[in-house]
Structure 1
Amino acid sequence: MRRSHWLSIFASALPLLAAAAPLPRFPPGAVWNQDVSRAPLAANSASMVSTLQGLGGWGAGDDFQIDFSMYVLQADAASPTVSVVAWPDADDYYAPDCDAPGFAFPVPAGGAIEGSPGYACDHENADCHLLVQQGDALYEAYAANVAGTSLQTICALRWDLTRRYPRNGRGEQCTSADAAGFPIAPLLFNADEVAAAIPVEGDIGHAIRFVLPNARIADDRYVHPASHGTLRTSGPDASVPYGVRMRLRADFDLGRYNAAARVLLRTMQRYGIVLADGGNIALTGESDRYTTAKWAALGIDEHVFVDGTPSPRVTDFEVVETGPRHVVTYDCVRNPDDFLLIDGYDY
C-alpha cells in the first residue's frame, strides 16, 4: 500500500514553468470521460456504502478534504531528461508493471515532485509522485527523486494520451504510479479547468481520483477500470474495492456551496470518483503553483467541502456497476502496445 502524507508546499526560488496547459486528457470515449449519471448501480451498492460509512467513511475523521500537493508539469521537445533507475535501497522495482528502467524521463526546468519545492524528494516518508506531460505522452513516477542525471524511482511509465485503453488498463494485475493501475494526472482537477467551467455552470468532464484509508478498502480485490489492488489492505469484503466508481447522488443539495465547489460536485454526479490508492485525504487537486487561476480566488481550499452544509458523506454516494471483482495476485500480464478492444462499458 502506498504511503499518503499531507506535506507542506514550500516556497521555491526556481523559475516557474511556462503557462500551464490543460490537464492531460484521453480521447473521447475513454472510460474516465464517460458520463455515468444514468449508469446502472451495482447490485450491492447500498450495502457497500453502508459498510464503508460504518468503518468511518472518508479518512481524516470522515472529512471530505482535498490534498493540493501534486503538480502536473508541461515539457516541450527541448526539455532536459534524466534516465530512470531503480532505487538502490528499494525492495524491488515494479516490473513488469512499469516500464523497464533506462528510458529518458523529461524534467522541465522549474518543475517539482509532489510535496517538494523541486526535484528532490524524501521517498522514505512521502509518495513523491512526478507527473509530466510531453505532447501526447504522459510520464508518471512514484517514489521519485532526481539525483544528477538519474531519476530514482520504484515505478516509472509512459501513458499514450491518444489511446483508448481497454477496461483493464495497461494489463490485468498490473499496477502503475497509483496502486489501482490508473493514470494520475488525468484524474486530478486544477484551478484553470474549474474556473473555465464556472461561467457555463459546467463540470470538468472526467472522473476524479479519490483515496481511502487501507482498513476501509476491501482486502485483496479490485474491479475494473482498476487493474490492480493490494494484498495489504485490511477492510472487510463487504466494503468497496480498488477501482470502485462512486457517483454523487442526483438529489444532493449543491446550493450551499460556492460556484467553484459546485463545478466539482456536478462532476461527481456526472462522472463520479474512482478509488485509486490508499491514504487519508479523500480528494486530490493539482497545486495552483503553475496555473493561471488560483484556488484562493475561486474560494476553494482543503476544507471547502468540510465547511459546506450539507457536507458530502459516503452515504451521499452510490456505487456504479463496472463488472465483477478480481482477486489480487500481483501476476501482471501487460497488454501489447497495439492492443485494441471495444471496452464494453454499457453506460
Structure 2
Amino acid sequence: MRRLVAVAGAAVLGTTVLGPSAATVPELPGPVAGPGAEQGAKPVAGTSCPTFPSDNWWHADVSGLPVHDRSEQWLSHMSTGVDLHPDFGPSFGDGPNYGIPITVVASSHPKVRVRFDYASESDRVRYPLGADTRIEGGRGSSGDKHAIVVDKGSCRLYETWNTRVRRGHWVAGSGAVWSLGSNDLRPDGWTSADAAGLAILTGLLRWNEVKAGDVDHAIRFTTDVTSNHHLWPARHDAGSQDGLAYPPMGARFRLRAGFSEDGYSQHAVAVIEAMKTYGLVLADNGSPWYFQGEQNARWPASLIEELKSIPASEFVAVDTSSLKVSDDSGQVGSR
C-alpha cells in the first residue's frame, strides 16, 4: 500500500478543519486498571489488554444501522466489480508471510527516541523498539513498513509507519500511541500510522479470533481513490478528490445480510459474519478492497483462497453517525 499524508490540514464532511501546529503530545491516559479482558473486548494474544473497550466504535454492531445516503455514490468510485483480497497469509517462500506483524513486549523493554518525518502530528515519546521489533514486509521492504507494538504491562499501543533504522537511529514517517483501555481519539487533523488517523491493531483480523469463530470488531481495508474528507471517528485523510462523491476515511461498509455462506468453511464464515455485523472500515489508500490481517504463519492457505471469493458488490456504506457520543471519543452510545 502507498499512502499520501496531508499535513497542512484536514477536512471533516461539511467542515474544513486546520491541522494543529503544536509540536507537543497530548497527555495519554494512564495504564488500564486490572486485566484488560475485563473491559469487554477480546485481548491481544499474549496479553490481558483489550483492543479498546467493548463500547468502542470498532466493536459496534452496525448490522441494523441505515445505509448511508452516499453509499451508491461512493461505491461507484470503488471498483466494485472486483472480489475482496485478504492482504495477509502465506507467501510460500516468496519473502516474509503477508500481513502486519504484532510485537508484544514487557514494560521493562528499553524505549528509544524516534525521528519522525511528520513530527508535528506524531506522538513524540520514546517507543519500545529494538532488535525484536517486527516490521511489515521486513526491514528491507519497499512497502508501508508498519510496526505495531503492545506493551502488555501498561496496555499501551505504539504504532509507526515507514519504520526503519538509519545510521543507528530509529526513523519513521509518523507514530501514534494509545491507551488500549481508553476511547480517546487523536486530535482532529492528525494522522497516525494510518492515513485515517486511527489505530491499525483493532482493524486487523487475528488468527486466534478467526479460529475461535468469534471476531468482535470491524476490519481495516483500503481503496485507491478517496476524498480529502473524513468521517468520525477518523481524524485525518489523504485523498486526491475534493468532492463528497468519493469515499472518505472512516467510512464503514457492511456485507449484505443476505449474502450466502453456503459452501464456506467454518473459519471463512466467522470472517463473513464479522463483515455483516461489524463491517469494513476505510482506513488508508491502497489497492481496492484489500483488507488486512496480522502476519501469522498459521493462516490456512485454503482460507485465504475462500476469502478471495467475496464480491465487493455485496457491500453497502453504513451511516454510523447515530453512534457518536462525543467528537473526541470513539465511544458509542446506545441507540
- Pairwise TM-score range, normalised by the shorter structure: 0.7 to 0.9
Question: Is 1:83 matched with 2:113?
Answer: yes
Runs of 4+ more than 6 Å apart: none
Cα displacement string for residues 241-266 of structure 1 (whole angstroms, at most 9, x for unaligned residues): 11100011110111221111111110
345 and 312 in structure 1: CA distance in 2 versus 1, 3 angstrom threshold: farther
**Which 5+ residue runs of structure 2 have no aligned equivalent?**
5-44, 89-98
Q: Distance in 2 between matches of 1:342 and 1:145?
A: 30
Q: Distance in 2 between matches of 1:316 and 1:43?
A: 17
Q: Distance in 2 between matches of 1:129 and 1:152?
A: 12
260 and 235 in structure 1: CA distance in 2 versus 1, 3 angstrom threshold: farther
Q: Which amino acid aligns with 1:107?
A: L
Q: CA deviation at 1:28?
A: 1.5
Q: Which amino acid aligns with 1:163?
A: S
In structure 1, the partner of 2:9 is none
66 and 129 in structure 1: CA distance in 2 versus 1, 3 angstrom threshold: same
In structure 1, the partner of 2:128 is 106
2:104–2:149: 8 Å Cα contact kept in structure 1? yes
Q: CA deviation at 1:341?
A: 5.5
In structure 1, the partner of 2:157 is 138
Q: Distance in 2 between matches of 1:235 and 1:305?
A: 33
In structure 1, the partner of 2:145 is 128
2:103–2:133: 8 Å Cα contact kept in structure 1? yes
Aligned length in residues: 279
In structure 2, the partner of 1:221 is 229
1:34–1:206: 8 Å Cα contact kept in structure 2? yes
149 and 106 in structure 1: CA distance in 2 versus 1, 3 angstrom threshold: farther
Q: Distance in 1 between matches of 2:328 and 2:84?
A: 37
Q: Distance in 2 between matches of 1:32 and 1:142?
A: 21
300 and 23 in structure 1: CA distance in 2 versus 1, 3 angstrom threshold: farther
282 and 346 in structure 1: CA distance in 2 versus 1, 3 angstrom threshold: farther
Q: Secondary structure at the match of 2:109?
A: coil
2:133–2:149: 8 Å Cα contact kept in structure 1? no
Identity, in percent, stands at 30
185 and 340 in structure 1: CA distance in 2 versus 1, 3 angstrom threshold: closer
2:163–2:172: 8 Å Cα contact kept in structure 1? yes
Q: Distance in 2 between matches of 1:249 and 1:319?
A: 10
In structure 1, the partner of 2:77 is 52
**Which 5+ residue runs of structure 1 have no aligned equivalent?**
5-18, 87-91, 198-202, 325-334
172 and 212 in structure 1: CA distance in 2 versus 1, 3 angstrom threshold: same
Q: TM-score, normalised by structure 1?
A: 0.72
In structure 2, the partner of 1:204 is 215
342 and 300 in structure 1: CA distance in 2 versus 1, 3 angstrom threshold: closer
In structure 2, the partner of 1:10 is none
Q: Distance in 1 between matches of 2:272 and 2:306?
A: 11
1:98–1:155: 8 Å Cα contact kept in structure 2? yes
Q: Secondary structure at the match of 2:274?
A: helix
Q: CA deviation at 1:182?
A: 0.7
Q: Secondary structure at the match of 1:163?
A: coil
RMSD (CA atoms): 2.8
Q: TM-score, normalised by structure 2?
A: 0.75
In structure 1, the partner of 2:198 is 182
Q: Secondary structure at the match of 1:114?
A: coil
2:197–2:234: 8 Å Cα contact kept in structure 1? yes
Q: Which amino acid aligns with 1:52?
A: H
In structure 2, the partner of 1:300 is 303
Q: Secondary structure at the match of 1:223?
A: coil
Cα displacement string for residues 221-276 of structure 1 (whole angstroms, at most 9, x for unaligned residues): 2111211112x424863232111000111101112211111111100111111000
Q: Distance in 1 between matches of 2:233 and 2:330?
A: 13
Question: Is 1:248 matched with 2:255?
Answer: yes
Q: Distance in 2 between matches of 1:164 and 1:342?
A: 5
Q: Secondary structure at the match of 2:171?
A: strand
In structure 2, the partner of 1:193 is 209
In structure 2, the partner of 1:284 is 292
In structure 2, the partner of 1:272 is 279
In structure 2, the partner of 1:200 is none
Q: Secondary structure at the match of 1:304?
A: helix
1:160 to 179, 197, 208: 179
Q: Distance in 2 between matches of 1:191 and 1:344?
A: 26
250 and 27 in structure 1: CA distance in 2 versus 1, 3 angstrom threshold: same
Q: Which amino acid aligns with 2:202?
A: P
